[in-house]
């Protein structure tokens, strides 16, 4: 590691938000952020919809639990912790925007508070009854720790999402998630969600920090198993237990993400793509930034 490079300490905070219990969920998340800060963490990731809960019965219920990003009590509380404890935070929250509702992730820094918002692109199951599909693309946020991207849960099943973050130079992808059981998942194998995070990290040279919730909400079980993966695709923390509140911790050198894309004297993961056969940015309008 070069003398000017520093290790980044990452935490994934795995807990059980309760649907409708917004004040309690915020209090629980803040307590875990304080614990992470006590452990010297630089960046903490909270689960998907960690302020509202996940399994809504009606659109009215879902909408009542959302907030405009600029007015969100969740973001206000998380930003206060970030500033006071010198902590970067990526947290899932329910975002209102006029008459629309989004399943979103807030990116918060000590210096700026709310730096930006990612809106879940690929909706899972009944989410389509309550949320709009994300409309912000795949932004990469520049921070003093490095370049951070975000995906949410089912987004991780789409290799294009990971690749578009890598093409823009992301070092780390934070994944607030509420993974649910896969019907054909073998009991003796790692969860498919973990395998997808590992594969994406390996094929793009990205660090991945995925924070999942636990518990059963209105008959829907969640699988926990939060994980932190290095840019070679190997877990450096976790997977966490399936049903226990947990704080996963790992120290990583985020600069290795960019270096790791050069595999040997002949091969570089992003340069080797056959852009004569498929679009360099997969038909999107983003500007490549990995060079």
The pLDDT tens digits along the chain (291 residues) read 665 679 999 999 999 999 999 999 999 999 999 999 999 999 999 999 999 999 999 999 999 999 999 999 999 999 999 999 999 999 999 999 999 999 999 999 999 999 999 999 999 999 999 999 999 999 999 999 999 999 999 999 999 999 999 999 999 999 999 999 999 989 889 999 999 999 999 999 999 999 999 999 999 999 999 999 999 999 999 999 999 999 999 999 999 999 999 999 999 999 999 988 988 888 888 888 755
**What gap in Å lies between CA 156 and CA 165, rounded to an integer?**
12
Which residues participate in catalysis according to the annotation?
48, 120, 153
Helices and strands in the chain, H and E counts? 7, 15
Among 113, 127, 17, 123, CA closest to 72: 113
Q: What is the pLDDT at residue 231?
A: 98
Residue 147: its pLDDT value, please?
A: 97
22-to-13, 25, 201 alpha-carbon distances in Å: 17, 5, 33
pTM here is 0.96
Residue 238 CB burial class (10 angstroms; 0-12, 13-18, ≥19): buried
Contacts 24+ apart (CB under 8 A), 67-74: 67/93, 67/94, 67/95, 67/96, 68/95, 68/96, 68/97, 69/95, 69/97, 69/104, 69/106, 69/114, 69/117, 70/114, 72/106, 73/22, 73/26, 74/22, 74/25, 74/26, 74/29, 74/50, 74/106
Distance CA 273, CA 260 (A): 16
| pLDDT reported for residue 282 | 83
Cα distance between residue 58 and residue 139, in whole Å: 30
pLDDT, position 287: 83
What is the C-alpha to C-alpha distance for residues 172 and 183, in angstroms, rounded to an integer?
30
């Amino acid at each position: 590691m070069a003398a000017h490079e520093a290790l980044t300490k990452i935490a994934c905070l795995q807990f059980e938000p309760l649907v409708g219990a917004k004040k309690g969920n915020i209090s629980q998340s803040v307590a875990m952020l304080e614990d992470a800060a006590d452990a010297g963490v630089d960046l903490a990731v909270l689960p998907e919809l960690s302020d509202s809960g996940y399994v809504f019965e009606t659109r009215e219920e879902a909408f009542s639990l959302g907030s405009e990003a600029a007015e969100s009590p969740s973001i206000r509380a998380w930003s206060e912790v970030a500033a006071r404890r010198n902590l970067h935070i990526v947290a899932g929250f329910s975002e209102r925007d006029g008459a629309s509702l989004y399943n979103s992730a807030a990116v918060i820094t000590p210096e700026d508070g709310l730096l930006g918002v990612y809106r879940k692109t690929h909706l899972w199951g009944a989410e389509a009854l309550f949320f709009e599909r994300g409309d912000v693309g795949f932004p990469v946020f520049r921070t003093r720790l490095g370049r951070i991207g975000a995906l949410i849960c089912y987004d991780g099943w789409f290799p294009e999402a990971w690749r578009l973050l890598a093409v823009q130079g992301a070092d780390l992808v934070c994944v607030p998630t509420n993974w649910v059981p896969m019907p054909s998942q073998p009991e003796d194998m790692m969860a498919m969600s973990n395998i997808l995070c590992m594969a994406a990290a390996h094929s793009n040279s990205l660090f991945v920090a995925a924070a999942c919730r636990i518990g059963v909400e209105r008959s829907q079980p969640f699988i926990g198993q939060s994980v932190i993966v290095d840019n070679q695709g190997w877990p450096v923390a976790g997977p966490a237990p399936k049903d226990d509140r947990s704080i996963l911790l790992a120290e990583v050198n985020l600069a290795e993400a960019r270096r790791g894309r050069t595999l040997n004297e002949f091969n570089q993961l992003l340069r080797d793509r056959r852009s004569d056969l498929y679009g360099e940015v997969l038909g999107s309008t983003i500007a490549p930034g990995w060079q």
